[in-house]
Structures are given as C-alpha cells and as structure tokens.
Amino acid sequence: MDDLIDFLSSVIHFCERGDPLPVAFSKAKEIRRVRNVNYDELFELSRKLILSYYSLSGRSARKKVISFLEGANKISLPQWMNDELRGLVDLEAYLRSLESGRYKWFRVNTVLGEENQVLTSLERQGIKFERDGDFNYLFKVRSGNITKTDEFRNFKVIIQDKASVAVVEALKPEKGDVIFEFASAPGLKAELIYELTQGDVYLILAELDRERLTKEIKLLSRLGVDMGKVDFINQDSTMNSVLKADKVLIDAPCSSSGILYNEPTVLLGLRDKGKVENFSVIQKLMIREAFNIRFKKAVYSVCSIFPEEGEAVMDEYMDHLLSTNAGGVEGYGNHGSGKFCNRYFGHIHGTEDFFIATLRGSESHER
C-alpha cells in the first residue's frame, strides 16, 4: 500500500506543478514503482484522484491520497463551477459522465489507408466499434485499445472527438476553398478539411507557439497532407496578417473546461473564474481581428462549457450569426445567440464539451 500511496502522491505533485496527467503519470513511473499492478488501471485511478481533488482532505499530497483511498473519492468541482453549471446543465449527470461516461472516437485517414481494409484489420485485432449516425466517416470505440494497433501507429487511424469533427462540419469546406485557421495546432481539424476536400484546398494555418507549430508541421506531414497546399504562419492571431480567405476557422484558445474527462488537471487551474474571464478577452480580440479579413463564412469554436467563452462572446455578433447545423443541441437559452449556436456535452453526446457558432462575413450572401 505504501508504494501505491507514494506513486499517487507523486502524480498529484507533478499535476500541481502544471503537468498534464499523462506527463505527470510518466514522471511518477520514473521515480516510483508499484509492484503487481496493471498500469492502465493505475492511470484510471490517477485520473479519478485528480477529479476528486477538491473533495480530499489534508494539505499535503500524501494526505490527499490517503483521504482518496479511504473513500473520499467523490468527483468534485470548485464551488464557483458548481454554482454556475447547476443553472446551465444537469449537474449530477455531468459529474457522472466525468467519471465514466465519455467515448473515444476515431476516423480512418483515407489519405494513407482504405477505410474498409483498415476497419477489417481493427476488427481482427479485437477492436469493437460502431459507425456514427451523424458523420458517417466517424466511429465510436466500444471496446479495445485502438492506440495499441499498427493502424494507429502508422497514422491510418486518427483519434478525434466527435465535437471536434463537428466544428469542421459546421465550416462546410468545399473543393477550391482557401481556408484560414487561427490557433491551428495540433492540426487535426486542418487534416480533416484536407480529407473532406480530397486535397483540393489551400490551407493557411496560424499558430503563436513555435514549438506547437513545429509539431503540427511534423504531424500533418506524417498524416499524408501535401505540404505544398499549406502555408504556416507563426503569429499571434489577435494581431493577424492575413487579408482574405474564403472561410475562417477560429478554434480559439480557451479554459479547456470541456476536456476534464481526458485531462482532469484542467480543474487545478480553475480554482476561480479568472482563467475563464481572461480567455474570454482573448477570444473577443481574435474575433474582432477576424473581421478585418475579407471572408464569406467563419466558424468560432471553443472546448469550454462556460457561456463566458461561448454565447456571451457571440451575443456581440448577433447581426453576423448564421444557424449552426453541426449536430449537438442548441446553445444556452439565457443568451440571445444561443438559438443560433450548437453545443456538445459529455453527459448527452459522450463527447468533449464544445461550443460552435457560425458567422457570416462581408462577402457572404447567406442570411
């Protein structure tokens, strides 16, 4: 038991220092070994530990772990989050979904592999899945670890959440489009645009973080994207340099409150509302900058459950809003923009929590 306590204490320590859970878990494995343990199960235990962080007693990591193992393992949010979400969603269902109610979604990279061949191979390896009813190239994993297959290692399978796919579907990329994406890393949306247009597209991808941009370039190359169809820009998208595009994708930096299931350490940065409010300011600056571009259509999206990063931002653009037809449900009804926007929720759709809105540009004839 002591080695388990030491291991989980190390996980908390690294998470409190700002490491994502997979990184914290790997670091803990380097310095603390646990005998006779299934590390996949231990990772899940670590995930639930961090989700329970605010319900644990004691100041030290060790005391928090002991509290957790003794049964104080209730999924818990900061009080301000509880108060706000209770008026927006079914909070109890939402909390249950954080514990066990989300799915892993994937699609076949048809640039590198033929769909039927890839799916047949996955079935032979014991991966059980079902085709999505909204986007027929998307699949929900029912059982099996798809990340341990050759298809995943060889980039023929791409893991991408359904809500993220819905963002691209809202943009409706067409052959011949010039598409500009703000804050584009890690690049999965860009790759999907490339696939949906069968490579007949010109992508302009902007990213502020140089390291993330370098990783994005490497990933898109490995995924089979023709790099002659892509321009990369290392820029702050609140100060944009692009003047014209057919369509603009503003997948803005946000609080990441929509990915708590997969990355519970986000909770540790949400002790108060400050992070959400700060990102809301950045998002508004990005959208304002986007309207300096001549475009026909834009999609704004954030992986956030909070209206401060979604509907409250779009309320300022009611004259530009178009109906967003990308599945999910309508946005929050206590905002005027809500009826034009879509939201995905983990406790309803088994996805990340996402907000999606569609905007008409100066060159659009849509109403």
155 within a domain of the structure (yes/no): no
CA distance 258 to 264: 10
* 128 occurs within a structural domain: no
The residue count for the chain: 367
pLDDT at 158: 98
State residue 366's pLDDT score.
55
Instruction: Tell me, yes or no, whether 271 lies in a domain.
Output: yes
Q: Flag whether 210 is in a domain.
A: yes
What's the domain range around 321?
A: 162-360
What confidence tier does 4 reach under pLDDT thresholds 50, 70, 90? very high
Q: What is the pLDDT of residues 183-219, one digit of tens each?
A: 999 999 999 999 999 999 999 999 999 999 999 999 9
Quickly count: other Cβ atoms within 10 Å of residue 178's Cβ.
16
The residue behind tokens 């819905």 is 166
pLDDT per position as a tens digit, 255-299: 999 999 999 999 999 999 999 999 999 999 999 999 999 999 999
Whether pLDDT at 124 is above 70: yes
DSSP, residue by residue, 317-350: GGGGEE---SSSEE--TTSGGGGG-EEE-HHHHS
The CATH number of residue 230's host domain is 3.40.50.150
Q: What is the model's pLDDT at position 334?
A: 94
Backbone φ and ψ for 73, nearest 5 degrees, come out as -115, 40
Of the candidate ranges 31-35, 252-256, 304-308, the one whose mean pLDDT is the lowest: 31-35
pLDDT given at position 367: 46
Widest CA span in the chain: 66
User: Do residue 64 and residue 185 come from a single domain?
Assistant: no
State the residue for tokens 């494995």. 29
CA dist., res. 323 & res. 341, Å (int): 6
Report residue 275 as tokens. Answer: 């992070």
Backbone φ, ψ for residue 301 (5° rounding):
-145, 150
Binned at pLDDT 50, 70 and 90, residue 330 comes out as very high
What is the C-alpha separation between 359 and 356, in angstroms, rounded? 10
Residue 35 reports pLDDT greater than 90: no
- The domain boundary, picked from 35, 50, 76, lies at 76
Q: State the pLDDT at residue 152.
A: 97
The Cα–Cα gap between 257 and 280 comes to 13
**Is 308 contained in some domain?**
yes
Classify residue 307 by its DSSP letter: G
Query: Lowest-confidence range among 30-34, 88-92, 93-97, 224-228?
Result: 30-34
Is the domain of 187 the same as that of 40?
no
CA angle 160, 165, 168 (to 5 degrees): 135
Percent of the chain with pLDDT over 90: 89
Tell me the C-alpha distance between 308 and 197, whole Å.
33
Average pLDDT over residues 108-136: 97
Same domain, 207 and 312: yes
Confidence of residue 364 (pLDDT cuts 50, 70, 90): low
pLDDT higher than 80, residue 341: yes
> Among residues 49, 76, 103, which one ends one of the domains?
76
pLDDT at 363: 64
Backbone angles phi, psi at 284, to 5 degrees: -65, -35
Residue 121 belongs to some domain of the structure: no
DSSP conformational letter for 203: E
- On whether both 166 and 58 belong to a single domain, the answer is no
How far is it, in rounded angstroms, from Cα 170 to Cα 147? 28
Calculate helix-pair angle for 79-86, 91-100, nearest 10 degrees: 120
Q: For residue 283, is it within any domain?
A: yes
Cα–Cα nearest to 68, from 123, 9, 129 = 9
> Does 351 or 72 have the greater pLDDT score?
351
pLDDT winner (highest mean) among 1-5, 55-59, 256-260: 256-260
What per-residue confidence (pLDDT) applies to 60? 94
Query: How many structural domains is the chain composed of?
Result: 2
Query: Does position 308 have pLDDT exceeding 90, yes or no?
Result: yes
On whether residue 147 sits in a domain, the answer given is: no
The structure tokens 């309508």 sit at 330
Mean pLDDT over 67-74 rounds to: 87
Query: Helix, strand or coil for residue 357?
Result: strand
Give the pLDDT band of residue 44 (cuts 50, 70, 90).
very high
Q: Is the pLDDT of residue 167 over 80?
A: yes
In degrees and rounded to multiples of 5, residue 35 shows phi and psi of -75, 145
28 Cβ contact list (under 8 Å, min separation 6): 7, 8, 10, 11, 14, 46
Q: State how far the Cα of 245 lies from the Cα of 203, in Å rounded to an integer.
A: 9
Sequence-distant (6+) residues with CB within 8 A of 162 are 103, 105, 132, 134, 135, 138, 140, 327, 344, 349, 350, 351
Share of the chain above pLDDT 70, in %: 99
Which of 76, 98, 130 is the last residue in one of the domains?
Answer: 76
Beta strands 138-143 and 178-182: pairing type?
Answer: unpaired
